[in-house]
Amino acid sequence: MQAQLAHQMALAPTGNIMIACAMGAAALGVLALYFGALLSIVRSDLTGGMKLVWLAFALVAPFLGCLLWFLVGRHDSRRRAGIA
């Protein structure tokens, strides 16, 4: 029983390091999504008013706003540019 407890205690720091690395990678991914969406919104062919709406949405709700921009808004801006 003591050997098993000693083994678990030895593995505990390794698990914490793995969790910290995974959380760091997730945070970097969210930051990349955020800044990528902001740049994409600014560079899009949308009118100034629509850019402002998307930028405000991305700033108020960073993860959801950026995710929706890439799923909905970006395709909408390409379609509108072809019409105008």
pLDDT tens for residues 2-48? 666 666 666 556 678 888 899 999 999 999 999 999 999 999 888 88
CA distance 24 to 80: 38
- The amino acid at residue 82 is G
User: Beta-carbon neighbour count of residue 44 at 10 Å?
Assistant: 19
What is the C-alpha to C-alpha distance for residues 9 and 42, in angstroms, rounded to an integer? 51
- Note if the pTM is more than 0.85: no
Tokens representing 34 are 């955020």
Q: In whole angstroms, what is the distance from residue 41 CA to residue 48 CA?
A: 10
Residue carrying structure tokens 């050997």: 3
